[in-house]
């Protein structure tokens, strides 16, 4: 973040997803994800135009047998999360996130609680920004919910 930077300018915590007790089937694609819980969105207005936004989230994920997909933080300039773009960057030559979560076992389903961080380095103004966790299955079925850890999201503006 450069010398003299790295101070936390603000912290915003999204609504806890415990109010939703239905299972969400993650369908769609990286450009049109299914959001785990639309009520858990985080809204932050950067104080500086050159800050970074650190995003921390946790949630329960279920991956059925022989399934794969992606779950992560998405950014939108719109409060309804339309036209979202994924915050995380992919690793690999094809720029795909399709196997970020994968279960090659054809016998057992995976239930896991995930906690991850990502940072948005695309801040160039002080316009309000919206973030939420979404995902999609690229093969088989990937779910959120299913009697596990509820979605929680936190955004922190870090000075450059």
Report the alpha-carbon distance of residue 157 to residue 47 in Å, rounded. Answer: 8
Tally of residues, the chain:
160
Q: Is the pLDDT of residue 94 over 50?
A: yes
Structure-model confidence comparison of residues 118 and 160, the more confident one? 118
Over residues 144-151, mean pLDDT: 83
Q: Is the pLDDT of residue 95 over 80?
A: no
SS3 readout for 15-40: CCHHHCCCCEECCCCCCCCEECCHHH
Q: Is the pLDDT of residue 93 over 80?
A: no
114-128 pLDDT, tens digit each: 889 999 999 999 999
Q: Which of helix, strand or coil describes residue 131? A: strand
Strand 129-139, strand 42-44: pairing: antiparallel
The model's pTM is: 0.90
pLDDT band, residue 1 (cuts 50/70/90): very low
Rg (CA), the chain: 16
Using an 8 Å Cβ cutoff, are 37 and 17 in contact? Answer: yes
Over residues 103-132, mean pLDDT: 91
Q: For position 49, what pLDDT does the model report?
A: 96
Q: Return mean pLDDT, the chain.
A: 88
34-92 pLDDT, tens digit each: 999 988 899 999 999 999 999 999 998 889 999 999 999 999 999 999 999 999 888 76
Q: For position 151, what pLDDT does the model report?
A: 92
């Amino acid at each position: 973040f450069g010398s003299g930077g790295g101070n936390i300018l603000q912290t915003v915590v999204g609504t806890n997803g415990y109010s939703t007790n239905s299972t969400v089937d993650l369908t769609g694609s990286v450009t049109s994800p299914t959001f785990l819980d639309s009520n858990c969105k985080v809204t932050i207005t950067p104080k500086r135009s050159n800050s970074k936004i650190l995003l921390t989230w946790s949630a329960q994920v279920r991956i059925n047998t022989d399934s794969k997909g992606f779950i992560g933080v998405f950014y939108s300039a719109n409060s309804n999360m339309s036209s979202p773009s994924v915050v995380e960057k992919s690793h690999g030559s094809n720029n795909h996130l399709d196997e970020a979560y994968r279960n090659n076992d054809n016998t057992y389903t995976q239930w896991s609680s995930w906690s991850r961080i990502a940072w948005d380095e695309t801040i160039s103004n002080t316009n309000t920004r919206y973030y939420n966790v979404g995902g999609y299955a690229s093969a088989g079925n990937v779910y959120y919910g299913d009697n596990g850890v509820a979605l929680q999201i936190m955004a922190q503006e870090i000075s450059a």
